[in-house]
Structure formats: C-alpha cells, structure tokens
Amino acid sequence: METIIIKATERSPEVNFDFDANTFAIKGESYPEDVTEFYGDLLLKLELHLSNLNGETVNFTFELIYFNSSSAKVLMSLFDMLEEIAEEGNTVNVVWLYESDDDNMEELGEEFGEDLEAANFKMKTTEG
Amino acid sequence: MLATDMYKFRNYLRETGIIFCYSGYMTEDVLLGLGKAIKQKMVMDDEDKETAKAVFSIFVEQVQNVIRYSAEKETKDDVAELRYGVLTVGRQDNKVFVTCGNVIRNEDRERLKKNLTNIQKMNKDELKKLWKDTLRGKIPDGSKGAGVGFIDIARRTCQGFEFDFSEVDEEISFFTLKAYI
C-alpha cells in the first residue's frame, strides 16, 4: 500500500504511515472537527494491512501534545489492534514520546501501554 | 445607557472571577478560536503547563458536549445544526474554573445525574477503569448520559467538579457543570 503522509494542522496530527516499511507515526495535536472523518479511513487501511502480516516487525510511534476524548477512542483501538497482531506472532514495537515536563501525557502513555503484553512498549521523552 | 449596561454586565462577570464568557451557538470554529485565546491567557498568567493543559482539555470536552448534545438547537434545511450553550472560564480562590451550561431534555436528566454522581464519587483507579471500558465501547457512549467526555473531565479536574439542573418547564431543564483546576 502507498505511504500515507498527512500534514499536521492546528487540531489534527501529522500522520506518517509507511506500509512497506511497517513504520507508522502519529504526531501532534488531536482534536479534529470530525474524528471519524479524520481517522476512519486511516484505521480501515491500517487494519487491512496489519491483519495480513505474518512474522513481520511493526514500529508505531505516538508523539502527541494533546488529544481529546474522541481521539482517545481511536488511540485505544490502535493499541488493541497492535496488541492483537503481536499476539499473532508479529514483533510490534510501540513508542510513546512525551515532553519531559508533561506529566499528564506521560501518565496517559503509561495507561495505554500497561495493557500491552505481547507488543513491546517504550516511553521516551522528546528531549531524548 | 448602552455603555452603562454593558459596563455593568462586564463588571458583574469580573466580580464573579470570569475571564472568558461565551453565550451562543457553539461550533467547532468557535471552539478553535476560544481555545487559542484561553491558551494565550494561560501563558500570560504564567499558569504552569499542567494547569494550562488541564484547563484547555476540560474546555474542549465541555464545548464538544454542547456541540453534540445541547437540546437547544437550530436546524435549517441541510445546513449543519447549531447548538446553544454558555461557557465561562475564570478564577476563584486561586483555582481556575471552566463552567458550561446548556439545555437538556427532562427525560435525560435522571440518567445524567446518576452517571455524574457516580463519576464524582470514583477514585483515580475506578475512573481509569471506567475510562478504558468506555473507550473500548464496553459501556455505551454517545448516549445522552455521561459519555467519555465527562469521564475525561473528572480525570482532569484537580479540585473536582459540581453540577446542577434547573427545570425550565415540563419538557426541558438547564444543566450546568463547573470543573475546578
């Protein structure tokens, strides 16, 4: 599938889905006007692609500044999707990047990450 | 007279600690614009990042609740509907507050009251569990009850929240939620 690159706006994140490399990233603010319109198609394509993987390595990076509760639903389904393909035998590396002084984003990362068992999960600060 | 009335109104807002006040139809554009001004004001006031982000986050959930659920709405042909609400952001006893009010249907009042009372009593871990279950769709959301937006507000308030209903007539009530950060 062709790489999807979406530029960030004030209220929607930068998206970089490189299907061939199995490298995916979502970065920035996420409170789009219409969550379904923004994420719906992306999630469908991702799910279709991921469900066909067998013994591959998938890297997914989240680097969010702020997300609203509707976006949180999307994040939860992404995490669940990644855990599922890890359970099926793929190597899944999830990285949650946050600014070191953003305790809330750190906590949210921990909350999403704690449900991952088969997938690898790492928290990192954006400062490195 | 005109200026005197408006000045009185402004002073009333100021006396009650209100920094921002918006009453009218709420749209996603209004949310974006007001949100920017609120962020800017938080920076000017040297609020710490944590507080500023919590205020913004609660503001977004409050306004989106109005945009989605206010029972006071106007529709015309195929133009997107407009929903009415009142929003204030202010400072009181060293706490920032975000208050939002809108009309709801009386038939939704009991369920909303029950859900919010339930959330109000929950500790951090219970809220986290409810939040996750709701995100996963295990608990119906999008209903006129307390959706994930309210759970998010409860998780974000540092000083809790209060809410109230004022019956307008046999059909509708005015609902208000005030969250303290």
Q: Which helix (DSSP H) or strand (DSSP E) does residue A89 occupy?
A: none
B88-137 pLDDT per residue, tens: 999 999 899 999 999 999 999 999 999 999 999 999 999 999 999 999 98
Q: Is B149 left (phi over 0), alpha (psi -120 to 50) or beta?
A: alpha
- Residue ranges of the domains in chain A? 4-125
Please give the mean pLDDT across all residues of chain A: 96
Residue B74 pLDDT > 60, yes or no? Answer: yes
The residue-averaged pLDDT of B20-38 equals 95
Residue B78 pLDDT > 90, yes or no? Answer: no
| Closest residue of chain B to A110, computed from CA coordinates | B128
Look at A90-99, B73-82, B129-138, B142-151 and tell me which has the smallest mean pLDDT.
Answer: B142-151
B68: pLDDT confidence band, cut at 50, 70 and 90?
A: confident
pLDDT at B146: 53
B144: pLDDT confidence band, cut at 50, 70 and 90?
A: very low
Of the partner residues B50, B57, B148, the one whose CB lies closest to the CB of residue A73: B148
| Closest residue of chain B to A34, computed from CA coordinates | B28
Residue B145 pLDDT > 50, yes or no? Answer: no
- The rounded percent of chain A whose pLDDT value lies above 90 is 98
- Residue ranges of the domains in chain B? 2-180
The residue-averaged pLDDT of B167-173 equals 95
Residue contact A68–B53, C-beta within 8 A? no
pLDDT at A14: 98
Residue B142 pLDDT > 80, yes or no? Answer: no
Pairing of strands A23-30, A57-67: parallel
| CA–CA separation, B65 and B145 (whole Å) | 11
Residue type, position A27, single letter: K
Contacts for B51 with CB less than 8 Å, ≥ 6 apart? B42, B96, B158, B181
Best of B60, B64, B151 to mutate (most A CBs within 10 Å, chain A): B60
Six-digit token pair at B138?
């295990």
Residue contact A66–B57, C-beta within 8 A? yes
Q: How far apart are the first and last CA of chain B?
A: 37
pLDDT at B9: 95
CB atoms within 10 A of CB A23: 16
| CA–CA separation, B47 and A22 (whole Å) | 41
CB atoms within 10 A of CB A46: 21
CB atoms within 10 A of CB B11: 10
State how far residue A101 is from chain B, nearest Cα, in angstroms. Answer: 8
| CA–CA separation, A93 and B59 (whole Å) | 34
- The ipTM estimated for the assembled molecules is 0.95
Helix/strand/coil (H, E, C) string of B4-29? HHHHHHHHHHHHCCEEEEEEEEECHH
B36-50 pLDDT per residue, tens: 999 999 999 999 889
* CA-closest candidate to residue B98, choices B108, B86, B90: B90
Residue A90 is given by DSSP the state: -
Are A23 and A35 in contact, with CB atoms under 8 Å apart? Answer: no
Residue contact B61–A66, C-beta within 8 A? no
Pairing of strands A23-30, B73-76: unpaired
Are B112 and B104 in contact, with CB atoms under 8 Å apart? Answer: yes
B1: pLDDT confidence band, cut at 50, 70 and 90?
A: confident
pLDDT at B54: 95
Q: Does A33 touch chain B (CB under 8 A)?
A: yes
B140: pLDDT confidence band, cut at 50, 70 and 90?
A: low
| CA–CA separation, B93 and B68 (whole Å) | 32
Outline where DSSP puts E strands in A8-126: 14-18, 23-30, 57-67, 91-98, 120-125
CB atoms within 10 A of CB B150: 25
Residue type, position A88, single letter: E
Residues of chain A with Cβ-Cβ distance to B56 below 8 Å are: 66
pLDDT at B137: 86
A124: pLDDT confidence band, cut at 50, 70 and 90?
A: very high
Residue B77 pLDDT > 90, yes or no? Answer: no
- Helices B124-135 + A69-87 axis angle, to 10: 80
The residue-averaged pLDDT of A87-92 equals 97
The residue-averaged pLDDT of B9-37 equals 95
| Closest residue of chain B to A107, computed from CA coordinates | B128
CA distances in angstroms from B51 to A31, B12, B22, B157, B159, listed in the order given: 19, 25, 21, 9, 11
State how far residue A76 is from chain B, nearest Cα, in angstroms. Answer: 6
| CA–CA separation, B163 and B99 (whole Å) | 9
Of the partner residues A75, A80, A111, the one whose CB lies closest to the CB of residue B128: A111
B75: pLDDT confidence band, cut at 50, 70 and 90?
A: confident
Residue type, position A72, single letter: A
